[in-house]
Amino acid sequence: MRVLVTGGCGYIGSHTITDLTSRGHEVAIVDNFSNASPAVLERLASITGVRPISFQADIRDRAALLSIFQEVRPDAVIHFAALKSVGESWEQPLRYFDNNITGTIVLLQVMHECGVRKLVFSSSATVYGMPESCPISEDAPLRVTNPYGRTKLVMEELIGDLCAADESLQAAVLRYFNPVGAHPSGELGESPSGPPANLMPYICQVAAGRREYLNVFGNDYDTADGTGVRDYIHVMDLARAHTDALDALNTCGESFTVNLGTGRGYSVLELVKAFELASGRLIPLRFCPRRAGDVGACYADPSRAAERLGWTAQFDLARMCEDAWRWQCRHPNGI
């Protein structure tokens, strides 16, 4: 298929492009580089042997997007482009609503106008808010707790209504749990701008000596060691699920929503220990109060993804840490 990837130079998009390309799909990227570097394109070329066609444009720019669609004539769209920081979304909620929701509406309009009927959409476990219990299935109540999560829920709802109104449009909504790790080459990975908000990139920077210690947000949760438990998933496993989702849309011809996680939760301290083993570095810790809005435990029931996509995660926590550390060592300042 010819696939247009919005946000394709970002963390998850770039890894997904390596999987799409290795499985014979043609890829075109649209990215405004608000959180990515064009250098990713060279890395993709050296990893895959193919330099993807890319367009620098904002998905909210309807005229630009329309002309990209007319030039590329995609069979399907994978839509990663979004702002993704929970903390920043409290500081600039309108920017998040506009970038994520307006951007998605413009994309859906242009898809409609150009007759593109297949969409894979990046959603997030954030739509479950404070889950009542774990593992979390796709039927769990949806109740978001921050403006970023709100954008994901609204976009899921818009896409759901659109698919209900027009059966020829098919969407795969993928709810990621906690993506971590990097491409095994060490040439693609996560490049947070400013101090990392997420655990794995923060640990990487402590191990590299860029930060003195890791703040552990809360050790009084109702978990085995008191620290927060999450379902970390290797970004290459996540990448593979996108190509599988495209295949599933082609074969089953109907829309679906699936969780993408391993189904196994690890605590902050377990992740730290695994990282210390993988890197041979000590991670000094400082215990602090809970972070506002955090839940104690959050991990997926991934059985629907196994049924729908034939997909299960393959990489374990050790491998997530090894690959994240390789990326950190090879590219200490990000891309």
Which one of residues 199, 204, 233, 238 is an interface residue with ligand WQD (CB under 6 A)?
A: 199
Q: Name 175's Cβ contacts closer than 8 Å, sequence gap at least 6.
A: 123, 124, 125, 127, 128, 138, 257, 258, 259, 260, 300
Contact 259, 177 (CB under 8 A): yes
Which one of residues 18, 21, 104, 122 is an interface residue with ligand NAD (CB under 6 A)?
A: 122
In whole angstroms, the minimum distance from the beta carbon of 300 to ligand NAD comes to 12
Segment near ligand NAD (CB under 6 A), from 17-25, 55-63, 138-146, 224-232?
A: 55-63
Selected catalytic residue, list 96, 128, 148, 176:
148
In whole angstroms, the minimum distance from the beta carbon of 267 to ligand WQD comes to 8
Count CB atoms within 10 A of the CB of residue 333.
8
Which one of residues 5, 9, 182, 321 is an interface residue with ligand NAD (CB under 6 A)?
A: 9
Q: What is the 3-state secondary structure (H, E, C) of 312-328?
A: CCCCCHHHHHHHHHHHH
Report the DSSP pairing between strands 26-31 and 53-56.
parallel
Tell me which DSSP letter residue 153 carries. H
# of chain residues touching ligand NAD (CB under 6 A):
27
Identify which of residues 214 and 233 has a Cβ nearer to ligand NAD in the complex: 233
Cα radius of gyration (the chain): 19
Residues 15-54 that bind ligand NAD (CB under 6 A): 31-36
Counting contacts by CB under 6 A, is residue 126 touching ligand WQD?
yes
Q: What are phi and psi of 155, to 5 degrees?
A: -65, -40
Which one of residues 74, 103, 189, 263 is an interface residue with ligand NAD (CB under 6 A)?
A: 103
Which one of residues 25, 84, 117, 242 is an interface residue with ligand NAD (CB under 6 A)?
A: 84
Contact 126, 91 (CB under 8 A): no
Burial class (CB in 10 A: 0-12, 13-18, 19+), 105: middle
H-run or E-run covering 118:
strand 118-124
# of chain residues touching ligand WQD (CB under 6 A):
18
Q: To the nearest 10°, the Cα dihedral for 156, 161, 165, 167?
A: 30
Counting contacts by CB under 6 A, is residue 85 touching ligand NAD?
no
Counting contacts by CB under 6 A, is residue 150 touching ligand WQD?
no
Count CB atoms within 10 A of the CB of residue 330.
12
Counting contacts by CB under 6 A, is residue 7 touching ligand NAD?
yes
Q: Name 149's Cβ contacts closer than 8 Å, sequence gap at least 6.
A: 86, 89, 124, 126, 127, 129
- String of contacts with ligand WQD for each residue 204-243, x by CB under 6 A: ----------xxxx----------x-x-------------
Return the one option of ligand NAD, ligand WQD, none that residue 294 interacts with (CB less than 5 to 8 A, by type): ligand WQD
Identify which of residues 153 and 269 has a Cβ nearer to ligand NAD in the complex: 153
Which one of residues 3, 4, 5, 10 is an interface residue with ligand NAD (CB under 6 A)?
A: 10
Dump strand ranges (E) for 149-298: 170-176, 178-180, 214-217, 229-230, 232-234, 256-260, 266-267, 285-288, 297-298
148 is catalytic: yes
Q: Which residues bind ligand WQD (CB under 6 A)?
A: 84, 86, 124, 126, 178, 197-199, 202, 214-217, 228, 230, 268, 291, 294
Binding site for ligand NAD (CB under 6 A): 6-7, 9-13, 31-36, 58-60, 80-84, 99, 103, 122, 124, 176, 179
Active site residues: 148
